[in-house]
Structure 1
Amino acid sequence: MNYSDAISRGVLGEPAFLLGIIAFIGLVIQRETVERIIQGTIKTILGYILIQIGASAAGVALGNLSLLIQRGFQVIGIIPHNEVVVALAQINYGSYIAWIMLFGMIVHLLIARWSPLKYVFLTGHHILFMASMLAALLAVYPLGKWEIIIIGSGLLAMAMTVGPAITQPFVRKVIKNDEIAVGHFNSFGFVITGIIASCFKEKQGEKRESPFPSFAKLQVLFQDHIISTTLFMFTLFLCASFFVGSEKVTELFFSRPPLVISVIQAIWFAAGVYVILMGVRMLLSEIVPAFQGISEKIVPNGIPALDCPILFPYAPIASIFGFLFSLLGGLVAMGVFVLLPNQYTIIIPGIVSHFFSGGAAGVIAYTIGRRKGLVVGTFIHGFIITFLPYFLIPLLSGLGYVRATFGDSDFAIIGFFAKWILQYIFGL
């Protein structure tokens, strides 16, 4: 393995390993016992791995739901899918990506140490995603290698610093403190959601209730929100199957009846969500105390910025409805593309993006604006993260024509900003 692979696919490319190293260093700095250091390091890595396992299980169900939606609407288009674009970018621009990640992280830490913005971005795979997008975008311009690396590193550091900072006022209302922040490149989407939800703030003395009373009654009945999540997904799959038609469903799922498919997929999804929540709790219980050691030495008063599922446990039901209304907003955006004249590029909602980003947006929106804020905020959020990737596609011409693009809002925003810098500052 050469140095670029060691950087892009090693320490910075594997979030669980990166967080484990941070926990280890933090506990060593605090002079904890050997037993506590081993325990904290392993539990930190295990917590993140549980999140990945849960995301994979939920992703199986979400992928099948996406397939039903595509077949139901008979639409062939471009799906926002970060991993696909990153794989292509690494083949063509692997060396650029590695250096952009390395220097971007160094600049980001320097900013965190010497500026009031004390957020330390720890979502490793999103660092890889943004570095890949910047490398693919900058490489098509007549720039030297080190010009690409310097500009890309600066933009990456800016995104890693500004994103958590602009999201934190809304995240703080969810978690009630500044112990953690959200490090996920959908900060523009979260901010828009929070602003919209603020228009529906509860009145003073207004009684707080669950997002939707009928759904909350199911939760009380079964004493577990995972049961409610299962019923929700079962209903969603059953409705999608009905819309597609039983013949197509049995064709897609090896002649299994729609009812059986709906039950199994709902269970897979709920199991994935359950494991994600367990992983989040374990990760936070270890990484936050361990991070204090690093904060004292490297970034005084530093705030770890972690992936957006850390918000799910604060309002699990709101996260599920956030996903639903975000997806609905994405479907409306897809309909707009279909209706536009002479429009040959159609963006199909990326189910995974709507689940994670939409779920976190749902928690923010419900905390701030209760039920109305949740519905309106996440619907507009879903419309935005489906519509913005369309404008990013021309900027990724260096990858050729691919049926995928980046799904979260910040990729398009940073892409536009990079293009503006190159055109109006460098005259390219």
Structure 2
Amino acid sequence: MNFTQLINKGLLGEPALLLGFIAFFGLLLQRAPFQRMMNGTIKTMLGYVLLQIGASAAGTSLSNLSTIIQSGFQIIGIIPHNETIVALAQINYGQEIAVIMLIGMVLHLGIARFTRFKYIFLTGHHMLFMASMLAGLLVAMPLAAWQTYLFGGIFLALSMSFGPAVIQPHVRKVIGSNDFAVGHFNSAGYLIAGWIARLVRSKEERETSDKLKKVQMFFQDHMIVISVFTFILFLVSGFFVSAKGFGEMFSGRHYLVVSAMQAIWFAAGVFIILAGVRMMLSEIIPAFHGIAEKVVPNAIPAIDCPVLFTYSPLSAVAGFLLSFAGGLLAMALLYSYQYTVIIPGVIPHFFSGGAAGVIAYKLGRRRGLIVASLCHGFLVTLLPIFLIPLLSGLGFIRATFADSDFSVIGVIVHWLLKLAFHG
């Protein structure tokens, strides 16, 4: 295994192994009994794998929804999808990505150890995404190889340290403590969603009418709500696709059957995600205290954004739907001006929009959830417009980076280096 594979396909290529190793190391530092170390390590890994299984099930359903929408509206454009563009970046810049990640991780741990920014970024795949974006951006500039590695590593480390820090006040409001932070490169989106939610928050929540209470009785189980609303979403989207086109996409099955089954697949995926998150958090946080005590005093683990879903599952689903609606509005605006059309990616809106929805509801209640989630979706769909021209080294492809920080950091890095090297 060469150096590039060691970084990209080693521990960081398997986030479950990385988290399991951290749990084991933390419990070892606490001198926990062997059985406790095994339990904590395996349950941490199992929790993350459950999260991946749930994300895969929900993602398959959402990919089908995206296909239906694109077929129905016949719009061709650029889709924000991290995995697609990262795969291309790794083919072209594998060595640069690996070195940037290595330097970035070392500097990030140094920042956590010697400054007040005590966040340890544990979302391995987002580390890879950001390193890929930085490599694609820096290689396109007139820099020596060592400058690409050094600047890439510095900006990656700063992103991993400051991203969780800027949204921690919002996260603290959601979870009620500093037990963990969110390590997900949509910090700008979460920050703005929280600000807007606070700005438009109702002074008082209206009392629920008796009729509405009777309806709410039916929707007390959030899995029922998720299933029903997803079914309606598929049903409405299917209206815009011809019967022949729908049949070709789903092997001749009727769209009512497809809508029902896709809704159930999505709900099942969400259920597994929530179960996995609960199991992972119950083990990784106590284990992490060993690292916080011995290696980086007062360290806070920064974990992937689905950790917020368990605090308000209905807000997460509402945030996803409203964020996606905001993305469709942004797409319509771009289309009307004959500009580069960004087609909102359903999967990024599910994860980022869902977490933004939880933050917005906790900070702004119902009105905050609605307004902030719509604005979030509109913003994260427009932002890639500014990043796409900077990644010319990757060529023209119908994909780009999805979450807000990639665009924000990409533009800032490009501006700083252009200022430094060209005056």
Pairwise same-fold verdict (TM > 0.5): yes
Alignment deviations for residues 274-330 of structure 1 (CA, whole Å, 9 cap, x no partner):
000000000000000000001111110011000000000101001101001000000
Work out which of the residue numbers 397, 409, 417 in structure 1 matches 2:412.
417
Change (3 A) 1:334 1:375: same
CA distance in 1: counterparts of 2:182 and 2:85, whole angstroms: 23
CA contact (8 A) 2:166 2:191 kept: yes
1:127 aligns with 127
1:380 aligns with 375
CA distance in 1: counterparts of 2:280 and 2:171, whole angstroms: 18
1:15 aligns with 15
1:311 aligns with 308
Change (3 A) 1:101 1:392: same
CA distance in 1: counterparts of 2:308 and 2:317, whole angstroms: 12
CA distance in 1: counterparts of 2:225 and 2:214, whole angstroms: 9
| Counterpart residue identity of residue 28, structure 2 | V
CA distance in 2: counterparts of 1:425 and 1:26, whole angstroms: 42
CA contact (8 A) 1:219 1:228 kept: no
Q: CA deviation at 1:264?
A: 0.5
The runs of 5 or more residues in structure 1 that have no matched partner are: none
Alignment deviations for residues 380-417 of structure 1 (CA, whole Å, 9 cap, x no partner):
10011111112111111111111100000000011001
CA contact (8 A) 1:219 1:227 kept: no
1:96 aligns with 96
Change (3 A) 1:219 1:302: farther
Q: Secondary structure at the match of 2:154?
A: helix
Q: Secondary structure at the match of 1:256?
A: coil
CA distance in 1: counterparts of 2:151 and 2:49, whole angstroms: 33
Q: Secondary structure at the match of 2:342?
A: coil
1:390 aligns with 385
Change (3 A) 1:219 1:44: farther
CA distance in 2: counterparts of 1:58 and 1:84, whole angstroms: 18
CA distance in 2: counterparts of 1:185 and 1:166, whole angstroms: 11
Change (3 A) 1:235 1:86: same
CA distance in 2: counterparts of 1:374 and 1:80, whole angstroms: 23
CA distance in 2: counterparts of 1:413 and 1:178, whole angstroms: 26
CA contact (8 A) 2:202 2:367 kept: no
The CA RMSD measured in Å over matched residues stands at 1.6
1:152 aligns with 152
2:218 aligns with 221
CA distance in 2: counterparts of 1:297 and 1:406, whole angstroms: 37
CA distance in 2: counterparts of 1:132 and 1:222, whole angstroms: 43
2:192 aligns with 192
| Counterpart residue identity of residue 95, structure 2 | S
Residue 41 of structure 1 pairs with residue 41 of structure 2: yes
Residue 367 of structure 1 pairs with residue 341 of structure 2: no
Alignment deviations for residues 348-396 of structure 1 (CA, whole Å, 9 cap, x no partner):
0010100000000000001111111111101010011111112111111
Residue 347 of structure 1 pairs with residue 342 of structure 2: yes
TM-score by length of structure 1 reads: 0.96
The percent identity for this pair of structures is: 59
CA contact (8 A) 1:79 1:404 kept: yes
CA distance in 1: counterparts of 2:216 and 2:48, whole angstroms: 27
Q: CA deviation at 1:17?
A: 1.1
Q: CA deviation at 1:78?
A: 0.8
1:26 aligns with 26
Q: Secondary structure at the match of 1:244?
A: coil
Q: Secondary structure at the match of 1:426?
A: helix
The runs of 5 or more residues in structure 2 that have no matched partner are: none
CA distance in 2: counterparts of 1:202 and 1:376, whole angstroms: 12
CA contact (8 A) 2:73 2:240 kept: no
CA distance in 2: counterparts of 1:227 and 1:246, whole angstroms: 28
1:107 aligns with 107
Residue 240 of structure 1 pairs with residue 218 of structure 2: no
Q: Secondary structure at the match of 2:301?
A: strand
Change (3 A) 1:217 1:38: farther
CA distance in 1: counterparts of 2:207 and 2:64, whole angstroms: 35
Q: CA deviation at 1:245?
A: 3.6
Residue 322 of structure 1 pairs with residue 319 of structure 2: yes
CA distance in 1: counterparts of 2:347 and 2:47, whole angstroms: 20
CA distance in 2: counterparts of 1:208 and 1:20, whole angstroms: 46
| Counterpart residue identity of residue 347, structure 2 | V
CA distance in 2: counterparts of 1:76 and 1:240, whole angstroms: 17
TM-score by length of structure 2 reads: 0.97
Compare 280-289 and 134-143 and name the one that shifted more: 134-143
Residue 253 of structure 1 pairs with residue 253 of structure 2: no
Q: Secondary structure at the match of 2:177?
A: coil
CA contact (8 A) 2:183 2:304 kept: yes
Q: Secondary structure at the match of 2:142?
A: coil
CA distance in 1: counterparts of 2:179 and 2:201, whole angstroms: 24
Q: How many residue pairs align between the two structures?
A: 422
Q: CA deviation at 1:202?
A: 4.2
Change (3 A) 1:259 1:218: farther
| Counterpart residue identity of residue 349, structure 1 | P
| Counterpart residue identity of residue 354, structure 2 | G
Q: CA deviation at 1:209?
A: 7.2
Q: CA deviation at 1:254?
A: 1.1
